[in-house]
A and B are shown apart, each in its own frame.
Chain A
Amino acid sequence: MKEFQYFTPKTLEQACQILKEREGAKVLAGGQSLIPVMKLGLSDISSIVDLKKIANLSYIRKESNEIAIGALTTHSEIARSELLRSDLPLLSETASKIGHTQIRNRGTIGGSICHADPAADLPATTLALDATMVLQRDTAQRKIKADQFFKGVFETALEKGELLKEIRFEIPRGSSSAFLKLTLPIGGFALVVVSCLLWIEGDDCKKSSIAIGGVTETPFRAKKSEEYLQGHKLDDNRIASAAEKSLDGISIMQGLGYPQEYVERMIRVLTKRALRLALTRSKER
């Protein structure tokens, strides 16, 4: 591995300062994405800014009807949180399926989101949940929604010298959810991820949120599927038809390693299964 300067700032402001001043500086959180990249010699990093000595970046807090999660909270902590399992199960379910145990004990929600790998799990879920990213530069903060945060492959709205501090979620009351992913082989990077929520009132689907990841540069909402479900009673036929519409208006990436027709079919299959699962769970509430 190419040699680099290593910094352990004690405050976010210090971290921002270093990132602003140095060319080729990268943030280190859990390292489960960054270190493999560095070991493969795929990056030109001259400085590493390790955030782990900064206090108060790892937390899960309920603040009236919102949940705030610190950027350095690990996937394991999120998967295990009783609060999240009850109020934001889509997030804890997603986190519980990332990588494997060792990865989850180290990898962080902030690191995963800022890395913005198209094959990652959390970006799709933050999109489905319409999350708000809280960004900090020096002492100034700004907030940006998930659908504005992911810009491209490994590309986010973060500007130079800016850090992700916290991710906020409005508690999706009255919803049921499901997260499914297709990895080949099991435990590898995802080919397709589907992260969805259903709001069912009486017999009808009041609204839905279906986010799909792994097949486009950034995760996308399957708007045509959502429109098709809205206001209707959900049975197997309607769900299957909605899943067929998931790729309407969407072009998936080339070069995913499998035939395009196969990938497109898998997207529709996974969407159908996720919707079915969310519907079943809505009846169990």
Chain B
Amino acid sequence: METNTIKVSFRLNGSETTVDVEPSSILLDTLRDSLGLTGSKKGCGEGVCGACSVLLNDKVVCSCLMLTVEASGQKITTIEDLLDGDRLDPLQQAFIESDGAQCGFCTPGQIMSAKSFLNELKQDSALEVHDSDIKEALEGNLCRCGSYNGIVDAVRKVAKLQQKI
């Protein structure tokens, strides 16, 4: 079979990006190997661990389960987008303060899931947030170091600030 490559254009971390890939190319690999965005990690490669989590149109998905071609015309946000020059995102700051990371491997994925959760929360500022909501939102992100308590603390902190509770 002849190799066919496809030009894929998408909005990546605020900029228009174009890559030339084979149909079988996986988005996670494109982000890490072609675009140098190694913040998203390959933990399992089968959509179970969440270490590869990115935002697709502001909603968290596993980039290891997306073909690069599926990103065409879409908005992709990776962990690298959260740092604004020297300024950490409130979530990143909260993770540091609440001990939300040990080895740090799952952390980008945890933060992207939390970002997606907080994005949805924004739509209803009156909504009360319980720890069970946070845990349910992040159930697709595994942490082998067991930093779950710190992670939930961090997300709760930012959620409270956001909901002004």
Q: Inside 8 A of B48's CB, which chain A residues have their CB?
A: 187
Q: Which of B3, B22, B61, B72 contacts A102 (CB 8 A)?
A: B61
Per-residue 0/1 for B37-53: is the Cβ within 8 Å of any A Cβ (1 yes, 0 no)?
A: 00000000111101001
Q: Inside 8 A of A106's CB, which chain B residues have their CB?
A: 56, 61-62, 65-66
Q: Inside 8 A of A52's CB, which chain B residues have their CB?
A: 70
Q: Inside 8 A of B67's CB, which chain A residues have their CB?
A: 6, 28, 31, 35, 48
In the complex, the chain A residue whose C-beta lies closest to that of B50 is A102
A9 CB within 8 Å of chain B: no
Q: Inside 8 A of B45's CB, which chain A residues have their CB?
A: 39
Q: Which of A6, A100, A102 contacts B6 (CB 8 A)?
A: A6
Q: Inside 8 A of A32's CB, which chain B residues have their CB?
A: 47, 65
> Is B24 a contact partner of A103 (Cβ separation < 8 A)?
no
Most A CB contacts (10 A, CB to CB) among B4, B22, B67 go to B67
> Is A103 a contact partner of B56 (Cβ separation < 8 A)?
no
Nearest CB in chain A: distance from B162 CB, A:
18
> Is A3 a contact partner of B22 (Cβ separation < 8 A)?
yes
In the complex, the chain B residue whose C-beta lies closest to that of A36 is B46
Q: Which of A6, A36, A38, A105 contacts B56 (CB 8 A)?
A: A105
Q: Inside 8 A of B53's CB, which chain A residues have their CB?
A: 102
B90 CB within 8 Å of chain A: no
Known: A31-B65, A32-B65. A105 touches B22 (CB 8 A): no
Q: Which segment, of B11-19, B97-105, B135-143, B147-155, faces chain A?
A: B135-143
A244 CB within 8 Å of chain B: no
B116 CB within 8 Å of chain A: yes
Q: Inside 8 A of A59's CB, which chain B residues have their CB?
A: none
> Is B46 a contact partner of A31 (Cβ separation < 8 A)?
no
Q: 8 Å CB contacts to B: which residues of A9-58?
A: 28, 31-32, 35-36, 38-40, 46, 48, 50, 52
Per-residue 0/1 for B59-94: is the Cβ within 8 Å of any A Cβ (1 yes, 0 no)?
A: 111100111011010000000000000000000000
Q: Which of A8, A39, A102 contacts B140 (CB 8 A)?
A: A102
In the complex, the chain A residue whose C-beta lies closest to that of B52 is A102
In the complex, the chain A residue whose C-beta lies closest to that of B57 is A105
A99 CB within 8 Å of chain B: yes
> Is B140 a contact partner of A4 (Cβ separation < 8 A)?
no
Nearest CB in chain A: distance from B77 CB, A:
13
Nearest CB in chain A: distance from B71 CB, A:
11
> Is B140 a contact partner of A99 (Cβ separation < 8 A)?
yes
Nearest CB in chain B: distance from A138 CB, A:
25
> Is B23 a contact partner of A105 (Cβ separation < 8 A)?
no
Complex CA distance for A103 and B138, rounded to whole angstroms = 12
Complex CA distance for A31 and B61, rounded to whole angstroms = 11
A101 CB within 8 Å of chain B: yes
Per-residue 0/1 for A100-117: is the Cβ within 8 Å of any B Cβ (1 yes, 0 no)?
A: 111101100000000000
Q: Inside 8 A of B136's CB, which chain A residues have their CB?
A: 101
Q: Which of A6, A36, A100, A101 contacts B23 (CB 8 A)?
A: A6
Give the interface of B toward A (CB within 8 A). 1, 3-4, 6, 22-24, 26, 45-48, 50, 53, 56, 59-62, 65-67, 69-70, 72, 113, 116-117, 136-140
A and B contact pairs by CB, cutoff 8 A, 6 listed: A1-B24, A4-B23, A4-B24, A5-B4, A103-B140, A105-B56
